[in-house]
Every structure is written in structure tokens, then in C-alpha cells.
Amino acid sequence: MSLLQKIQTKTATVGVIGLGYVGLPLAVEKAKAGFYVTGFDIQPQKVSLVNRGENYIGDIIPQELKDLVASGHLKATSDFEDIGKCDVIAICVPTPLDVFKQPDLSFVVSSAQSVADHLHKEMLVVLESTTYPGTTEEVLLPLFEEKGLKVGKDFYLAFSPERVDPGNHLYKTKNTPKVVGGCTPLCTEHAKALYEAVLNAPVFAVSSPKEAEMTKILENTFRIVNCALANEMALVCNRMGINVWEVINAAATKPFGFVPFYPGPGVGGHCIPIDPFYLTYKARAYDYHTRLIEMAGEINDLMPEHVVERLMNLLNDQAKPLKNSAILLCGIAYKGDIDDLRESPALKIWQLLERKEAIVSYYDPYCPEVLLNGEKVLSSPLTQELVQKADAVVITTAHKENVDYKLIADNAKLIFDTKNILSQSLNIRPETLENLHIL
């Protein structure tokens, strides 16, 4: 039976390298579709959790994971020798930036080398990790063809960008449309067949991996630029005494030509603050500087500093220095109603506050503990006493559930709401509450 037939009949054995926010949901959906799936991860803790049927990703239904493990459709291992037993491999590993905002492809290269060591005829490899255009063909393909196998003939290689939005209740892995681009038409055909067998969503084929890689970059560049626009509008509106939130909501009533984006204390998650800079890096090889992207990144990166400066000024108006002031951060996750701390601007604000010698504590119902500067810090219970003792409460994450905002509104000496959540949850506006200030 050919690989294509195995995929179409769901008898192909599938491997997923990387069991994080992208890999584990993908592995679960492939197992739910009927494939036998092996998840590969270098972290023994994740492997043990999966094999016990214990979930650690918010977008997965815990009972589904348990049932898939119990039925044998899903298992995990740190033994990469098992890659050779798979017909299909999806690579879903992190692609961070280094301290100089240059791409760090070490996880991708390491995973690709593991695949290359066990590559066999009639195998499909799909890279899902976000990266710069050219990675699939310039980094992975040479590693694979060194083994004497020919792409499009002996094995198949494609890129399909992940589209994960943690906490999105409408679009998850199963029903989010997919883009695929293979190194050859046959590669594309095999990758398209795989996702069509798994997803309840359209699968759109592009002409090569480069187009698929650039698609992901464009999607996230759209977001970083519009987030920066919203943040810059917030900075200007603050100086002019204008409520930026009211302005954006008014503009959003226009039924065409406008998409609302909202300001905040910075941008977090893997996608927006990282992915566009993969293009910035690659574009330099073509003697082109992505000025708009770089400027957008600068604006967004400055927002945590702006929050701290605003807070200093607000405390100064009350004749209080920031040094030795008790600051309570409400929300530490990078976005509302999830536990994801990746690139969270709240953590950056926390570090800036500590450099100013403020006394910082935090409350987040979704993140009971956090590792900061190598030390574990626990979330404080949100009590009347905690709020009253704080010199300022800074709302850094817009959790819509499990936070008693009324308790904060009734007891805080000073509230700096960087997400305008009090307006949304309690219909409280700054002009109606003297101690409330918004971004």
C-alpha cells in the first residue's frame, strides 16, 4: 500500500515532534481522526503526563486525552529511535529569537537531524514551526537528501504553518483552515491529504514551502503592525486627554475598511513579538530592511516601560515614590483567560518595577505560580486586605472570568487598568471613579 493510500485509509503511523501548545493539540486531533500517533519530546515530564493521560494544555479536553491514551491511539516517548517506525512526521518545536533578535533554529535543526537519521522511503515530513521563508528547502531538505533519498520520489517534505490561538473558544486545531506547501507537487498532495483526513476545515495548497512559510509571517506581521498602531494611538491619546478605547470602539462601527485592534501593556505569546522578526532577518540577505516591522516591534517593546513610567507619575501625584511602594499586578498571563506566560509583558513590567525597587506581588487565577529570575513565586490570594495594602493595582491581563474586579474597584487606592477591563466587566469609566486610570 502506498503512503498516500495509508493516509487516506488512516492506517499510516504518525509522529509529532514537540508536545507543546502546537504539537499536543495536533497529536490529539490526529489520534481522534483514527491515526495511531506517537508524540516525541525531550522533556520527560511531558512524556510522563501524556502517557498517564494527564492534560497540561488548556485547549485540549482532558477526557479526550485520557480516552485516546487508554485506547492506544496516542502515546509519548523521548526515544527518537521510534521515528523510524512512523510513516508521517510533523515537527512542532519552538523557534525563538536569541538576545539579538536573530532566529534560533536549534530546535528545528535538532529535530530534523533526528528525522534524517531515521528517514525511510515513503515517509512524509511536515514542518509546522514558524520560521523564515526558505527554511524547509534550505535547512531541512539538504539534511534529508544526504541520506541518498530523493524528495518527491522516495520521501515527501512540506511546510504547513501552525495556526494556534490559545483560549479561542471558536477556532481550534480541528476547525481552523490549513495552508500547505510541498517541495514538489507530490509532496503537496501527500501533505494536503494528511490534513484533510484530520481537520474539519478547508486545506489550501500553495505552490511551494516558501509561500506557506511567508503566509504565516504575513499573518503575524499584520497583527504586530496593527497592535503597534493601537499602542501608538494610546500614547498620543493619553497626552491629548482622549479616551483611546472609546475612539477605537467608535471607529469599529464602520462596516468596511477598519479592523479593531486594542492597546495594552505590550504584546506576548509566541507569534506577534517573535515571528515577524524571522522575516526581518531573512530580508537582509536580499538587501532589504523591513522598516515598518522593526518600527512596530520597537513601539510594542516600549509599552512595558511606558506602563512603569505612567505608574511612577500616578504615584508621584499622590506624593509617593515608586521605590518601596507595594504594587499588585492583576494578571500575569500574556492574554486573558489562559495560563500561557510566553513573552508576557506583565513579566517585563514586573522586572522593571523590581529594578525601581518596588515591592511587587501578583494575582492570577490561571497562573498559580511563576518562575521569575530563577525563583518560584506564588500568586497571592485576591483579598480585601491585599488590595487595600497595595499602593497601586496594575491590571496587566484582561481575564474576563475568575477575577473579582468589584473588590478591586471598591478597595484599591490607585488602579492603573492597562486593558480597560473594568469598563467591560463593571461598566466603570475613569471619570466615574477618581482613583481609576486607563492606558
Q: Catalytic residue numbers?
A: 271
> H helices of 15-149, where?
23-32, 44-51, 62-71, 106-117, 135, 141-145
Helix (H) or strand (E) holding 392: strand 392-395
Close Cβ partners of 74 (under 8 Å, ≥ 6 residues apart)? 27, 28, 31, 37, 39, 50, 65, 68
Radius of gyration of the chain (CA): 24
DSSP 8-state secondary structure symbol assigned to residue 386: H
Measured over the CA atoms of residue 140, residue 141, residue 146 and residue 152, the dihedral's sign is positive
Amino acid identity at 312: M
Rounded CA separation 347/329 (Å): 10
Phi (first) and psi of residue 230, to 5 degrees: -65, -40
Give the distance from CA 96 to its chain's centroid: 11
Phi (first) and psi of residue 411, to 5 degrees: -125, -15
Rounded CA separation 247/259 (Å): 13
Residues in the chain: 439
Do the beta carbons of residue 187 and residue 159 sit within 8 Å?
no
Residue with cell 473588590: 407
Query: Three-class SS of residue 406?
Result: helix
Amino acid identity at 321: P
Close Cβ partners of 182 (under 8 Å, ≥ 6 residues apart)? 152, 156, 157, 158, 159, 188, 189, 190, 191, 205, 208, 209
Q: Write b or e for each residue in 327-345: b if 16 or more Cβ atoms lie within 10 A of its Cβ, otherwise e.
A: bbbbbbbbbbbbbbbbbbb
Phi (first) and psi of residue 273, to 5 degrees: -80, -5
